[in-house]
Amino acid sequence: MNVVVVSNRVARANDGEPIAGGLAAALLPAVKNYGVVWVGSSGRVRDLAAKDAFAEVEALGNGALATVDFPKAHYCGYYEGFANSALWPMLHSRVDLLATDPEQYACYSAINSYMARALLRFNQPNSIYWIQDYHFLPLGLELRRLGITQPIGLFLHTPWPATSIVQALPHHKEIVRAMLAYDLLGFQTTQDQTHFADFVKNVLGLTVVDDCIRYDSRICRLATFPIGIDVGEFSARAAKAFTFPEVMRLRSSVDGKLVIGVDRLDYSKGLPNRIRAFDRLLTVDPALKRNVSMLQIAVPSRERIRAYSQLQQELALQVSDVNGRHGEVDWTPIRYLNKGYSQAVIAGFYRAADVALVTPLHDGMNLVAKEYVAAQDPADPGVLVLSSFAGAAHELETALQVNPHDIDDLVQKLATALTMPHAERSARWKVMMERLRSSSLQSWFENFLAALTQRSPKPLVLPPKIAAALPARDKYGSRVATFQ
């Protein structure tokens, strides 16, 4: 089986490079350990024609990384335009920030078509294609148009919102119809899957039977695959990193307890409310001054998009105001850093922190929550304060779950975390660790591919009425029998 994974970018992260985000953290081990070919943008844009689609390949462990130069004429409209100024805010229920135009959608479509042609290099009789995330929602349809008949799946790392939110997106019907060209659509949570099924039924007027949708002579299946982490590896990394110079300097510089937040600088992460909550905590309980500090790492992202540059300015002013009012000549309440760190160092920071604030307004999963739990010292674990709107909240039920829109709730949960006795901290942590081990990165990877190739322990059996109506082959030449 030749597994081809496709995402917007590929990563070459190692212990000496800055943290690359959840998608990279999930896929790099799969490439190295499972022999996957990971294809994505090289980050270079050039004056290219459609016929120039080509991927450069380099080895990585047992697998390979393949990078594609994108056409300059379309990249900005694709990435900064439709993908991140329309799809991203819609998927995170921020339609107030949605901004796009027909030209940007045309660029998004053109890049998807271009990537499909680049992928032809990897097409073999035993190839299967696993597409990642919102950048390539119509890529499966583009591959079908080029004659690809092998299994193609899409995993969506973001949330899928309620139907009324999706309908705010221009071309929403066209995009969802294109997504039905995939054999398998994977979601982070059952709620995301239910929202997608509701859209298909209520807007497109299609029938969903046993999580299967028949459209255009094909069957598209819906399923949930919560993404995990390599718990053992991350725990070992955190223990080792506890003696790294950066981590030791952090530990020696903190008097009292440390609260940590690690995020991309994105409006979906709830950072302004997090800072407001910490400000209010120091205001209502002045005795905490000098006894608790906050380290917020906010890695800049998509700075050319107005909503992101405005957020960066807002947070800088907000942190400055809090530090100016509560700080002393020898004590700073909030250490606010706009730069990335290696995953090894981040793991050490997690282990050094007594509390982690993971409070997104909406998030598909949020691997920071899982990484923080895995990084803890079993003899003295910290406390995770977790937004109930993160996908991870469906699994990490013994975290202190919080409404990130409610500042008072944030303050209360943070105060509870800072004073939680050891026995309760340990009991909550053990339950979360057990859940992390049972839903690891390896199981996520294997379960998706098993479902895509129909090698799961419980094979899909279509309802008799649908199965009887299916032709031997669909319009693209795929044998529909592979779904039974």
Query: Among the options 69, 266, 354, 363, which is catalytic?
Result: 363
Region for residue 310 given its phi and psi (left: phi exceeds 0; alpha: psi -120 to 50; beta: otherwise):
alpha
CATH 3.40.50.2000 in the chain: give the residue spans: 2-224+454-483, 233-438
Q: Is 285 in the active site?
A: no
Mean pLDDT of 362-376: 97
Query: What one-character DSSP code corresponds to residue 77?
Result: I
Query: Among the options 157, 195, 326, 362, which is catalytic?
Result: 157
Assigned CATH topology for domain 2-224+454-483: Rossmann fold (3.40.50)
Q: What is the pTM of this model?
A: 0.90
Region 233-438: CATH code: 3.40.50.2000
Q: Is 363 in the active site?
A: yes
Mean pLDDT of 268-275: 98
Q: What is the pLDDT of residues 326-349, one digit of tens each?
A: 999 999 999 999 999 988 999 999
**Measured distance CA(189)–CA(162) in Å, rounded:** 13
Region for residue 133 given its phi and psi (left: phi exceeds 0; alpha: psi -120 to 50; beta: otherwise):
left
| Percent composition of the chain: helix, strand, coil (DSSP 3-state, to 5) | 50, 20, 30
Mean pLDDT of 183-191: 98
DSSP result, 236-286: HHHHHHTTSHHHHHHHHH--SEEEEEEEES-GGG-HHHHHHHHHHHHHH-G
CB within 8 Å of 419: residues ≥ 6 apart: none
Q: What is the pLDDT of residues 123-159, one digit of tens each?
A: 999 999 999 999 999 999 999 999 999 999 999 999 9
pLDDT-based confidence at residue 19 (cuts at 50, 70, 90):
very low
Under a CB-based contact definition with an 8 Å cutoff, are residues 374 and 436 in contact? yes
Length of the chain: 484
Please tell me the predicted confidence (pLDDT) of residue 482.
27
